[in-house]
Amino acid sequence: MPGNKCNGNSTIPTSRLERLLRERELRRNSRASGNNESVDNNKEPEFSERDFSHVERFLEGAAAARQTEGFEKVDWRPPRQRLLVVANRLPVSAIRRGEDSWSLEISAGGLVSALLGVKEFEARWIGWAGVNVPDEVGQKALSKALAEKRCIPVFLDEEIVHQYYNGYCNNILWPLFHYLGLPQEDRLATTRSFQSQFDAYKKANQMFADVVNKHYEEGDIVWCHDYHLMFLPECLKRHNSKMKVGWFLHTPFPSSEIHRMLPSRSELLRAVLAADLVGFHTYDYARHFVSACTRILGLEGTPEGVEDDQGRLTRVAAFPIGIDSERFIRALEVPKVQDHMKELKERFAGRKVLLGVDRLDMIKGIPQKILAFEKFLEESPNWRDKVVLLQIAVPTRTDVPEYQKLTSQVHEIVGCINGRFGTLTDVPIHHLDRSLDFQALCALYAITDIALVTSLRDGMNLVSYEFVACQDAKKGVLILSEFAGAAQSLGAGALLVNPWNITEVATAIGKALNMSDEVREKRHKLNFAHVTTHTAQEWAETFVSELNDTVVEAQLRIKQIRPGLPYKEATEQFVRCSNRLLILGFNAALTEPADTPGRRGGDQIKEMELKLHPELRGPLAALCNDPNTTIVILSGSDRSVLDENFGEFNMWLAAEHGMFLRHTGGDWMTTMPEHLNMEWVDSVKHVFEYFTERTPRSHCELRETSLVWNYKYADFEFGRLQARDMLQHLWTGPISNASVDVVQGSRSVEVRAVGVTKGAAIDRILGEIVHSKPLTTPIDYVLCVGHFLEKDEDVYTFFEPELPLDSIGYSRSKVSDAIKLPGDRRSSPLKIPTGRAGLKQPHGKAPRSSPNIEKRMATQNGSGHGRKPSPEKISWNVLDLKKENYFSCAVSRTRTSARYTLGSSDEVVSFLKRLAG
């Protein structure tokens, strides 16, 4: 017999995919076991007038759970994970019967329909009950009544509901997400009221968060739903960063070109990104969301989601929703439903039934559907008395003028067609402006030959799923709009159409009516398998499983992220030490932030000018005037930029990654090797200029030892493609045989001479400092702060006291003759021998002469009579650095070899102010 795959010898899943596959297998095994243990499977299901008993079975359990407390449980299964489902509306509507009495009725909606099938979690619903309850007595009574159904109310007053729900949600977000744009009428009034509606939206989201925080228990999963609660993830994470938060959108997410019209576009995106997992119905919607974050916020989009500036990843994925298909299949066996089916078959005997079930909404394409049916009747006169269209249009937002206008339009079209093609005894279109109860709807689905779903834009459309679930006997045809999310799931078996193309829809109707039984059965089999497999329960379990795993992955990533700089400890060690060395980068570390909140990139002109942060002049002056502190500005910028910004200070300037060096009181010297070949510069310059002309908002920086092409402000996708083309051209042409390094930044390409890094230059810089400044004690404190490219981060490891010799890298293995590495770095301080690094004066100037270090040491340490120093003093301990006195810090980078991180140049300013006192 084959062995059990799940025996004790099975390997422990290590990768994310392995964990998810294992979880999926366990879920399916558990479900199969539960099905085998179920009793009385043949029992006839019962339905109340509005199927309220099913909701009762789903929502109830809290009271039963309380009754079993104190009794020993015989169920071997572990306790179910608590799931807090947070949505705008509760799955029940409350109706007040008295001062302290309420009755509850089931609410309609796709989310309720989908989550009715979720059985594997201990669910609690949090949401608005749909009624204003201003008095405390009423609130307590309603809360008590809802608690029995595992529901927790959020009480919103009428003004909040008007501004938040009717205003921002339904008037702004909903039309925009369905590609209807922002309101066009009364533009000035809309603009004036927009901010108040947005403020109410944020306030309402905070009210939801307060209720969640009150009932949250450690280990709970919080699942936020839909566009009503886009701010909720941020509110929850602000209160408890360890809370597991997922957010799912049930509508389409529009293209970034549509979303960018929203005035609050950036705030909403960042609020959603606070969630651990963001879910959508289809890959298209997920792709649009990632694109919006990339193009609007300037964040990095990855195959797994969106990574923010601090390295935190929000996973973004598609989770197609389903229905509780078994509920519909079982309903067809109920006598009352079978009676309905019999009546309908008799009523429409001899005619093919076409069915449309929609909310009376602009996006549902009801007028387009009816016009397509009219065209079919025009072109197929032989079918006129053999086909009937049943259109169920559930009224919605009847107080809104646009919806009233739509209702009148539909009635007018239906009347014209019935008048044109109807008879005294029958009409081709039966239109109902009301909803049907569950039993009648199932019966209607079952006797239908063709279902017409012509949504102009729809998040998923579960009507198509419900139709397929009820069609296992008849095997009818589904005509489905390609703009409905369900098209990606049911497209294999459905006839996909463009609802705007009336002729195409009419042709599809004719094709469906004339389709052979064999083809219909094959198409139905594909869709039926999908609907019965990808159920609501599977959807919810998959989402929660991925959310749990995403949190695990996030914890692993957090362990790899460097901690923030410990201000207090760094300041205390600075004060305690007697000879301090500060190595500071310039761009993005000491410059004023150029990013504009809410916009991708920021102020391009401001960033290109590279100006010192105005609040740094005072702290830098104080630190430079401290005789025990030496400051080095180490930058990739050219000499003129450093002269302009730092010429007034008493410090060292190292330009172009340390290739040029000077003290502000002296002249520039070059550290470039004499044999350095720079013949490649002109050819690379031509390539960079060419791509700058072809890429709007990109720019090229021409330096003496390197060239940089920056596309931070260009369109992200286009800039990345251009960079790829540029690199391919460079490697096959201008630099194919040149001794150069190509350094790729997140939005830049730099070509520099091989071996030119900040870490490689730091030893030469130290040598010059030692020979130019009288040091009485070794350097015992080093602070290295900068926003350096990965290739330049060897400057951090250069000073690292704890790195093993084999991991020190280029800067330690190939130091110049000026600074030698002792055999044991852990116990021996860095020593400067009697030689000195070769530095050349640029422009043909002769190097400055300097007394050798023995003479200087004799002068500094002797008694002043020219006495020769002792042998142990000839080789001076220049760098005596302990672990607790070294602080390397990367600015705005989380993946770094530095010990610590700082978020921005503003934080650098704050820290340097503390050092300056």
Per-residue pLDDT tens for 613-663? 989 999 999 999 999 999 999 999 999 999 999 999 999 999 998 889 999
Q: What is the 3-state secondary structure (H, E, C) of 745-783?
A: CCCEEEEEECCCCHHHHHHHHHHHHHHHCCCCCCECEEE
pLDDT (tens digit, 9 = 90+) per residue, 687-696?
999 999 999 9
Helix axes 681-694, 716-732, angle to 10 degrees: 150
**Stretch 162-174: mean pLDDT:** 92
- 875 or 490, which is more confident: 490
User: Residue 859 has what pLDDT?
Assistant: 33
Q: Are β-strands 886-891 and 900-902 bridged in parallel, bridged antiparallel, or unpaired?
A: parallel
Number of Cβ within a 10 Å radius of residue 122 = 15
pLDDT exceeding 90 applies to what percent of the chain? 53
User: Residue 33 has what pLDDT?
Assistant: 59
**Stretch 822-847: mean pLDDT:** 40
Burial of 123 (0-12, 13-18, 19+ CB in 10 A): buried
User: Residue 146 has what pLDDT?
Assistant: 92
Alpha helix segments (H runs only) across 458-535: 463-469, 487-490, 502-513, 517-533
> Please, which pLDDT band fits residue 820 given cuts at 50, 70 and 90?
very low
Question: What is the enclosing helix (H) or strand (E) of 30?
Answer: helix 16-37
Cα separation values, 303 from 214, 549, 711, Å: 36, 16, 22
Q: Is residue 61 predicted with pLDDT exceeding 60?
A: no
| Residue 501: closest CA among 324, 650, 336, 369 | 369
User: Residue 184 has what pLDDT?
Assistant: 63
**Stretch 593-599: mean pLDDT:** 55
Whole-angstrom distance, CA of residue 587 vs CA of residue 637? 8
Is the Cβ–Cβ distance between 493 and 433 less than 8 Å? no
pLDDT (tens digit, 9 = 90+) per residue, 321-352?
999 899 999 999 999 999 999 999 999 999 99
User: Residue 88 has what pLDDT?
Assistant: 93
Type of residue at 888: S
| Residue 659: closest CA among 786, 792, 787 | 792
- 98 or 890, which is more confident: 890
User: Residue 53 has what pLDDT?
Assistant: 44
Chain position carrying tokens 């502190």: 629
Residue 339, C-beta contacts closer than 8 angstroms, at least 6 positions apart: none
Q: Is residue 484 predicted with pLDDT exceeding 80?
A: yes
Cα separation values, 2 from 5, 6, 447, Å: 9, 12, 47
| Residue 409: closest CA among 366, 455, 378 | 366
DSSP secondary structure, 863-916, as one string: -SS-PPPPHHHHSEEEE---GGGEEEEEES-SS-SSSEEESSHHHHHHHHHHHH
Is the Cβ–Cβ distance between 71 and 133 less than 8 Å? no
Chain position carrying tokens 């190509």: 742
Number of Cβ within a 10 Å radius of residue 410 = 19
Type of residue at 86: V
**Stretch 496-521: mean pLDDT:** 96
Is the Cβ–Cβ distance between 448 and 353 less than 8 Å? yes
Cα first-last separation, the chain: 78
R_g of the chain, CA atoms, integer Å: 36
Whole-angstrom distance, CA of residue 843 vs CA of residue 822? 36
- 42 or 629, which is more confident: 629
Residue 890's beta-bridge partner residues? 786, 901
* Mean model confidence pLDDT for the chain: 82
Whole-angstrom distance, CA of residue 195 vs CA of residue 765? 55
Q: Is residue 519 predicted with pLDDT exceeding 80?
A: yes
Whole-angstrom distance, CA of residue 250 vs CA of residue 217? 26
Is the Cβ–Cβ distance between 304 and 316 less than 8 Å? yes
User: Residue 802 has what pLDDT?
Assistant: 66
User: Residue 695 has what pLDDT?
Assistant: 94
Q: Is residue 302 predicted with pLDDT exceeding 50?
A: yes
Q: Is residue 804 predicted with pLDDT exceeding 60?
A: no
Residue 731 has phi, psi (to 5 degrees) of: -70, -30
**Stretch 215-222: mean pLDDT:** 94
pLDDT (tens digit, 9 = 90+) per residue, 369-396?
999 999 999 999 999 999 999 999 999 8
User: Residue 406 has what pLDDT?
Assistant: 93
**Stretch 787-802: mean pLDDT:** 86
pLDDT (tens digit, 9 = 90+) per residue, 880-897?
888 999 999 999 887 888
Burial of 895 (0-12, 13-18, 19+ CB in 10 A): middle
The model's pTM: 0.79
Residue 200, C-beta contacts closer than 8 angstroms, at least 6 positions apart: 159, 160, 163, 164, 167, 168
| Residue 607: closest CA among 597, 588, 594 | 594
Q: Is residue 275 predicted with pLDDT exceeding 80?
A: yes
**Stretch 69-91: mean pLDDT:** 67
Is the Cβ–Cβ distance between 244 and 551 less than 8 Å? yes
Residue 371 has phi, psi (to 5 degrees) of: -65, -35
DSSP symbol at 844: G
Is the Cβ–Cβ distance between 710 and 671 less than 8 Å? no
**Stretch 790-805: mean pLDDT:** 78
Is the Cβ–Cβ distance between 310 and 302 less than 8 Å? no
Question: What is the enclosing helix (H) or strand (E) of 709?
Answer: strand 706-710
User: Residue 713 has what pLDDT?
Assistant: 86
Q: Which of helix, strand or coil describes residue 151? A: strand
Whole-angstrom distance, CA of residue 271 vs CA of residue 124? 23
Q: Which of helix, strand or coil describes residue 243? A: coil
Is the Cβ–Cβ distance between 758 and 633 less than 8 Å? no
Q: How many residues does the chain have?
A: 917
Burial of 380 (0-12, 13-18, 19+ CB in 10 A): middle
User: Residue 773 has what pLDDT?
Assistant: 73
DSSP symbol at 309: T
Whole-angstrom distance, CA of residue 282 vs CA of residue 393? 26
Whole-angstrom distance, CA of residue 111 vs CA of residue 543? 14
Q: What is the 3-state secondary structure (H, E, C) of 444-458?
A: HHHHCCEEEECCCCE
Dihedral sign computed on CA atoms, order 153, 156, 161, 164:
negative
**Stretch 875-880: mean pLDDT:** 66
User: Residue 49 has what pLDDT?
Assistant: 38
Q: Which of helix, strand or coil describes residue 584? A: strand
